[in-house]
Structure 1
Amino acid sequence: MQSGKNLLQKTAQVLHDSASGVICLPENPSLDTIAAAAALYLGLSKLGKNVSLACSSDIKSDLFAADKVQPTLTTSGENLVISFPYTDGSTDRIDYFIQANRFNIVVTPGKNHAKLNEKEVTYGYTGGSVDFIITVDATSLRSLGALYQDNQELFKGKKLINIARTLTNTFFGSVNLVYRGISSTSEIVLNLLRSLNCELDKEISTNLYQGLSFATQNFSSPQVTADTFETAAFLMKSGAVKAKEEKIPDAPKKISFERTAARSMDSLESEPTGLEGDNFDDEDEEDEEWLKPKIFRPNPDKLS
């Protein structure tokens, strides 16, 4: 079995010798998976690789390069593919016209459907070939969903790099960068990028930090080690920005309780321990009178 260092070197060599590839995410990926894949995409692009991101599930994330994730596999080629979300009936027709040397495509929405959001339109090229395929946190090729089901021929004979930390991973790649004891997939990708001598920037570091933070439940997971904190510190030094935490307003009862708790002990000791208006000293005196024996004397006036 190869050591972790040898696996990293082998993976780095495969990528170094390749020009183009795709990074595939499984269906319904976690934030750590998206962060790791997007960071790897940014790093490989920075190294001059022609690479694309793909996931058959809809990805909604504020992570850097998450908007580059496409629902289908796109390879470097000469055929431009324009892609946008579609549901049955959402599009009535697609037309085109040429004006001022511009080719215009017109998408008419279906009845009672919203118009197409221009921010959801993606572009890519197909008709070409890829040198490598990277999967991130896929337990098997079938866990990629439609990405694999609709492109099985594309996967044949390719350099397949399997990056994962899941216990159920089936080691299906030609290179299996699988570390089952590590606390996050983002850490694996960080080590790979460092093996490729990729300079980390703010975007890459932020993605990896947020993936690490999510996977470790904000560094409270039992899998967290000293190495985890060293990785977090390294990413922060490399420019990582923490995700903004939403401030949740305190409930009224909680505010009232905190105000009471904030009082000094002196003020609490000086206050009566009973309810307002109660006088426990008077009650004690009344109790003592009640316990004394009572002598009933007849009224002389009534006897006469």
Structure 2
Amino acid sequence: MNNNIAQTLTHLNDVIQKGNSGVITLPSNPSVDAVAASTALYLGLHKMGKSVSLASASKPTYSLTATDKIQAQLTTSGDDLVISFPYSEGAVDKVDYNIQGNNFNLIITPRQGFPKLDTKQVKYSYAGGVLNFVITIDAPTLNSLGELYTSNEKQFQGKDIINIDRHLTNSFFGSVNYVNKTSSSISEMVLKLLQSLGVEIDRDMATNLYAGIAASTNNFSSYSVTADTFEAVATLLRLGAVKKTIGRPPQPRGFQPQPQMNPSFNSPQPSQFPQPRFNNQPDMVTPIEQVEKEPKGADAQTPQDWLKPKIFKGGGGLV
């Protein structure tokens, strides 16, 4: 491993070990690789007992473990219980509570004419915690996070920002910059991070990371694939990774269809072309038998005066 990368991972470990809570952020419209790496890291940090959340301005829909944990807002875990449900203006008449024995009951009464609250749509979370670190995944700049950053700039100030990226244009904005511009994928980088943290990588984490590397390298055919990439893939397979690729189906290859002719165009009819005219009389050909009978050379009849001298007059006439 490169000495600079080893030193960066050591520094990164120190930041994560001393912090108890953090958030993993993704850019707007994150790639399969970014989602795979962030969810695997999320699962790994939870195994370490860290209170972390996942956030992206746009909700990805890839079939990867823990993708459902990605929220559209920057939230921090804490001691405050938050009860959330869909709400429209004026739908709630009043909120009350009572205590029955050892139970605390929160009572939400809908306004007349509005439907009652659907228990299946109620969500629970914690807030009010202190944010110790922010991890950015696959973001060359903080502005790449979109509204997640522009609407929460104050929450990024004074925090340890761990910048994990491989873009050539990365601006090294973090307090720790784990940036490897020659890496095949973010997932390969996160695998090294999890190994350096001493996290036990389970099957779900390995499967996510495998899918991320496969997507980023176009099924291991990219020029960025190295021996380290195949070693990482071998490690993930030994850890139980399920081989699956996630992404858009490839476009079919083949000849592009020719544009259709305008239906209003009238093709010329055969009668519109000039027709060649043929002579109805057959060609006069001398039969071969007659040609053979014609006198040739010495056999031909020679005029009797052929050997006599010829005298020409001045006018060109023959005497």
CA distance in 1, matches of 2:110, 2:59: 21
Contact 1:184 1:211 in 2 (8 A): yes
The structure with more helix, counted as a fraction of residues: 1
Equivalent residue number for residue 217 of structure 1: 218
Sequence identity, in percent? 49
Q: CA deviation at 1:214?
A: 0.3
CA distance in 2, matches of 1:145, 1:21: 19
Code of the residue aligned with 2:151 in structure 1: it is: D
Q: CA deviation at 1:80?
A: 2.9
Equivalent residue number for residue 188 of structure 2: 187
Contact 2:32 2:246 in 1 (8 A): no
- Unpaired segments ≥5 residues, structure 1: 249-292, 296-304
- Taking structure 1 as reference, are residues 207 and 238 closer, same or farther at Cα in structure 2, changes over 3 Å only? same
Code of the residue aligned with 2:106 in structure 1: it is: F
Contact 2:214 2:245 in 1 (8 A): no
- Unpaired segments ≥5 residues, structure 2: 250-284, 288-319
Code of the residue aligned with 1:18 in structure 2: it is: G
Q: CA deviation at 1:122?
A: 4.7
CA distance in 2, matches of 1:245, 1:20: 30
Partner SS for 2:22: strand
CA distance in 2, matches of 1:218, 1:91: 49
Q: How does 1:215-294 map to 2 (within 5 A)?
A: 215-243=216-244
Equivalent residue number for residue 103 of structure 1: 106
- Taking structure 1 as reference, are residues 134 and 220 closer, same or farther at Cα in structure 2, changes over 3 Å only? same
Q: CA deviation at 1:4?
A: 0.7
- Taking structure 1 as reference, are residues 181 and 54 closer, same or farther at Cα in structure 2, changes over 3 Å only? same
Partner SS for 2:91: strand
CA distance in 2, matches of 1:71, 1:145: 11
CA distance in 2, matches of 1:191, 1:143: 24
Matched, 1:93 2:96: no
Q: CA deviation at 1:128?
A: 2.1
Matched residues, number:
245
Q: Select between 145-154 and 11-20 the one with higher mean Cα deviation.
A: 145-154
CA distance in 2, matches of 1:181, 1:26: 20
Equivalent residue number for residue 8 of structure 2: 7
Equivalent residue number for residue 128 of structure 1: 129
CA distance in 2, matches of 1:85, 1:33: 29
Contact 1:91 1:107 in 2 (8 A): no
CA shift digits 1:217-259 (9 cap, x unpaired): 111111111211111111010011112789x9xxxxxxxxxxx
Equivalent residue number for residue 310 of structure 2: none
Q: How does 1:163-182 map to 2 (within 5 A)?
A: 163-182=164-183
Equivalent residue number for residue 47 of structure 1: 48
Instruction: Give the TM-score normalised by the residue count of structure 1.
Output: 0.71
Q: How does 1:57-72 map to 2 (within 5 A)?
A: 57-72=58-73
Q: CA deviation at 1:18?
A: 1.3
CA distance in 1, matches of 2:34, 2:141: 15
Q: CA deviation at 1:294?
A: 11
CA distance in 2, matches of 1:83, 1:139: 33
CA distance in 2, matches of 1:228, 1:107: 56
Partner SS for 1:3: helix
- Taking structure 1 as reference, are residues 48 and 294 closer, same or farther at Cα in structure 2, changes over 3 Å only? farther
Equivalent residue number for residue 20 of structure 2: 19
Equivalent residue number for residue 143 of structure 2: 142
Code of the residue aligned with 1:179 in structure 2: it is: N
Q: CA deviation at 1:85?
A: 7.6
Equivalent residue number for residue 151 of structure 1: 152
Q: CA deviation at 1:152?
A: 1.4
CA distance in 2, matches of 1:84, 1:139: 35
Partner SS for 2:167: coil
CA distance in 1, matches of 2:186, 2:246: 22
Matched, 1:33 2:34: yes
Contact 2:39 2:67 in 1 (8 A): yes
